[in-house]
Amino acid sequence: MTSTGTTRRLALLSLVLALALPAVLMACGGDEPDAGERAEPTRQGILDSIIGPTAADPGDAPTATSAPRPTATTATAAPQATATRAPLLTFERGSVETDREALFAFYKATNGPRWSDDDNWLSDAPLDEWDGVTTDHNGRVTELDLSDNELSGEIPPELGSLGNLEYANLWGNQLSGELPPELGSLGNLEYLHLTLNRLSGELPPELGSLGNLEYLDLSHNELSGEIPAVLGSLANLETLDLQRNQLSGEIPLELGSLANLESLNLQRNQLSGEIPAELGNLANLESLLLYENELSGEIPAELGSLANLERLILHENELSGEIPPELGNLANLQQLWLVDNKLSGEIPPELGSLANLERLGLAENQLSGCVPSSLQGQVGGTHLGGLPFCP
């Protein structure tokens, strides 16, 4: 009898707990819906946040969540770039959803409603169906190609949260303002093309953290200040094009560490000082364009070590001294343009060894002597400043 009573009391207690437990959990927040049950923002809602909500629906527009700007105390420094791929940087929220939020912010900051093409932007469609967006098999954004698309405004810092981005092509727009330092967080970025915009301000040194970067073109903008020496840590870089800006100061000697560099174009800036001898270490360099700056001093003899060099264009600077005979070692050189400098002395006969030379510019200097006769059938005499060919 006692055993039966105890059993009944235990059963009754279990029933009471079963009935009471859901209420207790509800009170403690245990019934919180998971992330998959939350409603996605609509295209109209995001458009309202960009151009303002209608009078009939004030306050209904969702607000975009901006990624916080890193500070000196919170930013994580990337490791020194090497020839191998740098490890991925980690983000507080790295997912398809945070990629979508970053693109929302980008659309808002660059006047998205006025783009030439914005098919599917801000819709519920997969991101790879948005115009100019490519994703990987996990749905993360890997490419953003919105070139010549009438973008305007400033590049938002949220773009730096696209952790899987490898390719960014935004040339030929009307983007303005400074480059956000958050771009330095794009650890997988290999290609950054921002030419023909209206970007201003200094180059953020954070770009030196892009260890996988192979192509960097910021030409035809209004960038100012000095070239950050830390760009010399971009070990995978093959093309660096900063032409037609307002950059000043000296060419960083650290650029001589870019072992994979094939093209260095710094023409038409306000660069001064000497050409670093360290550029002679760029064994893969094919094109060196430094013309129309304020460079001075002698042409480094070390440039004669650039066995793959095809174009050496140095005109309209303030270079002085003699033409180094070591330039005669440049067996692949096709263009040597030294017009309008302060060069003096005789033409080194070693230039006669340049069997592939097609263009030679020596005018508007203080040179003397004669041009090696072996070049007579190759380069003509138009830009030789009246110097004769040797007999």
Q: Give 354-391 as a 3 state SS string.
A: CCCCCEEECCCCEEECCECHHHHHHHCCCCCCCCCECC
Q: Do 165 and 186 form a contact (C-beta atoms < 8 A)?
A: yes
Q: What is the pLDDT of residue 233?
A: 97
Output the CA–CA distances (angstroms, integers) from residue 85 to 72, 80, 307, 335, in the order listed: 25, 11, 27, 34
Integer Cα distance of 273 and 96 in angstroms: 48
Q: Do 209 and 186 form a contact (C-beta atoms < 8 A)?
A: no
Integer Cα distance of 162 and 18 in angstroms: 47
Indicate the pTM of the whole model.
Answer: 0.77
Q: What is the pLDDT of residue 133?
A: 98
Please report, as a single letter, which amino acid is at residue 351.
L
Q: What is the pLDDT of residue 53?
A: 37
Q: How many residues does the chain have?
A: 391
Going along 212-334, which residue ranges are E strands?
Answer: 215-217, 222-225, 239-241, 246-250, 263-265, 270-273, 287-289, 294-297, 311-313, 318-321
Q: What is the pLDDT of residue 63?
A: 31
H or E, element range at 50: helix 43-51
Please report, as a single letter, which amino acid is at residue 380.
G
Q: Domain map of the chain by residue range? A: 41-52+89-186+193-212+220-225
Q: What is the pLDDT of residue 289?
A: 98
Q: What is the CATH number of domain 41-52+89-186+193-212+220-225?
A: 3.80.10.10
- Residue 192's closest CA among 206, 201, 388? 206
Q: What is the pLDDT of residue 11?
A: 43
Q: Do 148 and 170 form a contact (C-beta atoms < 8 A)?
A: no
Q: What is the pLDDT of residue 381?
A: 72
pLDDT tens-digit series, residues 218-262: 999 999 999 999 999 999 999 999 999 999 999 999 999 999 999
Residue 271: how many other CB atoms lie within 10 Å: 22
Angle at 188 between CA 185 and CA 190, to 5 degrees: 110
Q: What is the pLDDT of residue 13?
A: 42
Integer Cα distance of 312 and 304 in angstroms: 11
Please report, as a single letter, which amino acid is at residue 364.
E
For the chain, which ranges sit under pLDDT 70?
1-93
Q: How far is CA 65 from the centre of its chain?
A: 24
Please report, as a single letter, which amino acid is at residue 339.
V
